Amino acid sequence: MEVEETVSSVNNKYVYTGVKEEIRMEMIKETDYLEQQPIQKFTSDKTSYKKYIINPNDEIKEPPALFRIQNKVLCTLGNFSAIIGKAKTKKSMFLAWLTAMLQGTLNDYVKTCIKGKKIIYVDTEQSAYHAGLQVKRIQELLDRVESNMEYVALRTCNPKERLKHIEEMIECNENLGLLIIDGIADLMVGGNNDEQESNEKVSLLMKWSEEKNIHIMTVLHTNKGNDHATGHLGSCIIKKAETIFSIQKDNRDNSISFIKSEFHRGEGMKDPLYFSVNDDGIPYIIDDVSFTTKSKTDKQKREPQYFELAGHNKVLEEMFKGGKEMKYTALRKAIKLQANRVLGVKLNDDLSKAWYRYYKKNDFIYQEKERMPWKLRSFEGNHR
């Protein structure tokens, strides 16, 4: 017997029906199933925004400070900032100095407010060799302070990998206080002028810093022809950051740079902070601005290697008179005091460290054991 077949449509899905019972039953089952399914209604939570409402009756608390310069709070937890400057203006040198100061190194310029908190320094630009030099530089500046920093070199990663690793760092470190991204542009897949991606990356900085209550400090180049941060990324960062620090070279002396707070939400730095780098590649602060107008030899006249052995001998004799012994902090203060009294040399905090390292390196002072007081060792001969 021939089979009569027809084609019918069930809810826009075509099925075959005919005189065969099994075909008809399959059609009926599918029709029943479709009719029994409830119609899904897609709705959105129209009250989700309420968690972002600011209650005027709530107590307003100032965000914890990251550090102070010139007694001004320039960066706080829950925010991000940026250091901008042309290439080779010593941005990384300043970051090395600042990183050491924020870990509690004795100094006269920066008061850290996150001692004990972890610092992660992300370097996206430098080779393994130069990244290693930066780590050694920070360790040298730390003196005897125990480091709580991780230095992560991501030059060999692509932008997406760098972003992934940074997200891991933020999630996995509960005691994190400061994240430094030295090369924020290297997180960009489409480049500095990609408007959409720039907005997305800056939104991430705002999200990470507030949700994790950390501070994120970024580094960005400026254009060759002007002092504007590069691309749409730079424009977006300047608009959203808590503070923008600008580093420039002193036009009177190429070996000296200075940093100032270019844009800031609160009260900024009153005066620029001048700094240079000594012969050992260690950055130091110059606290006498008039110092920048002198010749290089004249500027370096307060470095320890420019003084005769007899002068150092007198300084050390006064420091350790009567067989005195002293711990590190007292030693640094004594160097400042006696260099001024004996030689008429005013040492700032960084130069007093240079003198301490000089005495230690040349074995003029010694410790019987680690963390024991320093003692004077008899010395003769040329110290140069």
Task: Output the DSSP codes for 18-34.
Answer: ES-HHHHHHHHHHHHHH
Q: How far is it, in rounded angstroms, from Cα 291 to Cα 153? A: 36
CB neighbour list of residue 95: distance below 8 Å, 6 or more residues apart? 83, 121, 180, 182, 217, 219
Confidence of residue 300 (pLDDT cuts 50, 70, 90): low
Between CA 365 and CA 358 the distance in angstroms is: 10
* Superfamily of domain 65-299 in the CATH hierarchy: P-loop containing nucleotide triphosphate hydrolases (3.40.50.300)
β-strand partners of 179: 120, 216
Query: Range with the lowest mean pLDDT among 134-143, 226-235, 322-331?
Result: 226-235
Q: Residues with Cβ < 8 Å from 311, sequence gap 6 or more?
A: 342, 343
pTM for this entry: 0.68
What is the average per-residue pLDDT within 226-230? 77
Would strands 80-85 and 149-153 be described as parallel, antiparallel, or unpaired?
unpaired
**Residue written as token pair 């075909």:** 23
Q: What is the pLDDT of residue 379?
A: 52
Residue type for position 5: E
Return the higher-pLDDT residue of 296 and 326: 326
Q: For residue 258, what pLDDT band results from cuts at 50, 70 and 90?
A: very high
**Mean pLDDT over all residues of the chain?**
82
pLDDT band at 175 (very low <50, low <70, confident <90, very high): very high
What is the three-class DSSP state of 197? helix
Q: What average pLDDT does this structure show over 21-49? A: 55
- Cβ(356)–Cβ(331) below 8 Å: yes
Nearest to 150 by CA among 125, 176, 124: 176
Per-residue confidence (pLDDT) for residue 44, from 0 to 100:
60
The DSSP bridge partners found for residue 67 are 75, 112
Amino acid identity at 86 = K
What pLDDT was estimated at residue 16?
40
pLDDT of residue 294: 44
Please tell me whether residue 186 adopts helix, strand or coil conformation: helix
Q: How confident is the model at residue 384 (pLDDT cuts 50, 70, 90)?
A: very low
Model pLDDT for residues 37-65, shown as the tens digit of each residue: 555 554 566 788 888 888 888 888 888 88
Backbone angles phi, psi at 141, to 5 degrees: -70, -25
- Mean pLDDT over residues 326-353, rounded? 87
| Burial group, residue 172, by CB count within 10 angstroms (0-12, 13-18, 19+) | exposed
